[in-house]
Homo-oligomer: A and B are copies of this chain.
Amino acid sequence: MANPLIRDRDVDFLLYELLDAPKLCALDAFAEHSRETFDLYLQGTRRLAREVLYPAYRAMDAEPPRFADGAIKAHPLMKSIYPQMIALEIGAATRPREVGGQQLPLIVAALAHAYLMAANLSAYGYVGLSTGAAHLIEAFGSDELKRDFMAPLYRGDWTGTMALTEPQAGSSLADVKTRATPAGAHFLIKGSKIFISGGDHDLTENVVHLTLARIDGAPAGIKGVSLFAVPKRRREGGALIDNDVHVAGMIHKIGWRGLPSLAMEFGERDDCRGWLVGEPHRGIAHMFQMMNEARIMVGCNGVATASAAYHEALEYARVRPQGRPLGAKNPAAPQVPIIEHADVRRMLLRQKAIVEGGLALIAVTARFADLAAHGSHAAERRRAALLLDLLTPIAKSFPAEKGFESNALAVQVHGGYGYSSEFLPEAWLRDQKLNSIHEGTTTIQGLDLLGRKVIAEGGAPLALLREEIDAAIARAAAAGIDPAWCARLSAAIETLESLTQSLAQMGIAGAVEKMMSHSADYLELTSLVIVGWLWLRMAAVARAALERGAPDGDFYRGKLSAAQYFLATELPRVAHLAALCRDAEDSYVAIKPDWF
């Protein structure tokens, strides 16, 4: 059976049974849409993913882009893949009609694009990065910049990048050194960037780099960094001419091998022009306003990559005969498929709980993003925005961290064959590892969650989460879900609330380092509560469907099994993680560098 990459039934369940996506069409922004237009879009991306992107995946993993004569050549297959993605207008799927978009809810676009990611992260990356770059110009750029840069990016005529990282700075964007010298309507840009994904290629005539740089005389630190649109080629006299942006080298990445990651030099000849996007010195603030969406999409990468591997492992376990049931007496009996072994089912159910829980996490977070932007009144938008802020670091990090574990299990289920590059699970394992690193490492997600998100507005985000969880528990109880499952979630959210208060007290008392010392544990703990909440919600829907005798009973029974697994196996870990945070266990705080 062909790998579905993501199961359509799961997406339908999320959109139409769990989250009632068509209800969004009552909002002005989505009034032109309906379940029919959602499904049409999904059909297009599913088909493209399965028939075009996925068949090219192995070849693109095996043969990365080439760097020769100062330029990057993408894999030849991309020459036909790229226009087909553009034909579906995926780049501006969620953007408004007036900028050429389809004005789809993010929840629909994210799930639809998840198929493309599961099929071929690198191929999708060329478009996904362009969307991010164009969206920044849409939000903060002048009308001229929109015309000159945003429009060709959304049309797919050009592609875009985020040129943030510098060799000496890494995650520390406050230390960006690239310089921008005023020169009339533009600036002269000079500096080095690294890890620029899609920084050069031969698929389109131009690439626009959304570049962080420091205007001459700007203050040190985060408040002196500005954002610029810096094209590979600039328009002069109706022609595109070289803008002094050069590829200095290509990173040999271990995954995402179809998408080049480059070291780049801006302004070696002092002739690199950039145009300011938004206000001077507000570059990082502007970027962070778009960060939720970027991070949700990284989470989506993670879920998609785990999903492709899970479905591969599931099919393998169903068809690969090996061994016999425990205690079987007759050694001449035929071997059974390995899915018959309890520990193989454990590995599969764990993957299912991570993948389908992760997909629900992306869908719920995206739906809050839709409501935050387009809700019918200010209170609805504010509520959604607070929950979106809270959920984003989870949506970014849970799929990356647990997805990596899930991908490793897919390799393990394949046994010795999984250790071979003739099978795909090892490639997805390599791909997945990036998601805990780019767009803010997991460390940074933990600091963001505990240091900013949960303490925002007097703790309002967590109070709203509590409301959501209480409602979910009530619905689950009404649907006849085992009270023990509800009790576990109830205990977990209470633990999270009281822990957060304790930590906030530490912070208020000035012990900020102590408060923050277990930010990684706090992030994991919060992830467990949130994904546990989603599994309880899914279980309630599944139980209700079974009660009313819905067809497709096995599908719902599977949801209940995964919910049971997650709530029994993962959620109870909350107590121990909370103890570590609350006690501020100090082994790694106290250790000195020389003691290692």
Contact = CB atoms under 8 A, between A and B. Distances in A.
A122 interface: no
A575 B393 CA distance: 29
A507 to B, nearest CB: 10
Interface string A204-239: 000000000000000111111000000000000000
Contact of A415 (B171, B352, B580): B171
B419 A344 contact: no
B252 A421 contact: yes
A426 B254 contact: yes
Nearest to A340: B593
Contacts of A221: 331-332
B335 A416 contact: no
A596 B352 contact: yes
Interface stretch (A98-106, A179-187, A565-573): A565-573
Interface string A539-572: 0000000000000001101100110110011001
A373 interface: no
B415 A437 contact: yes
Interface stretch (A25-33, A149-157, A273-281, A512-520): A512-520
Contacts of A331: 174, 219-224
B442 A412 contact: yes
Nearest to A351: B596
Nearest to A339: B593
A596 B253 contact: no
A220 B554 contact: no
A55 interface: no
Interface in A160-175: 165, 168-172, 174-175
A301 B174 CA distance: 42
Contact of A170 (B416, B419, B569): B416
A307 B442 CA distance: 23
A144 interface: no
A412 to B, nearest CB: 6
A172 B251 CA distance: 42
Given A415-B170, A587-B349, A513 B252 contact: no
Interface in A348-376: 348-350, 352
A322 B426 contact: no
B513 A342 contact: yes
Nearest to A593: B339
B433 A415 contact: no
Nearest to A420: B251
Interface in A245-261: 251-255
A73 interface: no
A337 to B, nearest CB: 8
A403 B182 CA distance: 52
A252 to B, nearest CB: 4
A380 interface: no
A327 B565 CA distance: 40
Given A326-B512, A419-B434, A437-B416, A594 B554 contact: yes
Contacts of A447: 326, 343
B576 A349 contact: no
Interface residues of A, number: 105
Contacts of A326: 447, 451, 512-513, 516
Contacts of A565: 585, 587-588
A171 B255 CA distance: 30
Interface in A303-338: 314, 318, 321-327, 330-332, 335, 337
A165 B412 contact: no
Contacts of A109: none
A590 interface: yes
A352, A416, A565: which has the most chain B beta carbons within 10 Å? A416
A478 to B, nearest CB: 23
Contacts of A169: 322
Given A322-B172, A418-B437, A433-B419, A561 B343 contact: no
B335 A253 contact: no
Contacts of A519: 342-343
Contacts of A324: 172, 174
A420 B519 CA distance: 27
Nearest to A427: B254
A433 B345 CA distance: 20
Contact of A569 (B165, B195, B412, B585): B585
A324 B426 CA distance: 36
A419 B259 CA distance: 14
A297 interface: no
26 contacts: A168-B335, A171-B323, A174-B323, A194-B416, A195-B416, A222-B331, A254-B419, A254-B426, A327-B513, A341-B443, A342-B513, A343-B447, A343-B519, A345-B591, A349-B591, A349-B596, A416-B438, A418-B437, A419-B437, A557-B591, A557-B592, A561-B591, A561-B595, A564-B587, A572-B579, A576-B576
Interface of A: 165, 168-172, 174-175, 194-195, 219-224, 251-255, 314, 318, 321-327, 330-332, 335, 337, 339-346, 348-350, 352, 404, 408, 411-412, 415-416, 418-422, 426, 429-430, 433-434, 436-438, 441-443, 446-447, 451, 512-513, 516-517, 519-520, 554-555, 557-558, 561-562, 564-565, 568-569, 572-573, 575-576, 579-580, 585, 587-596
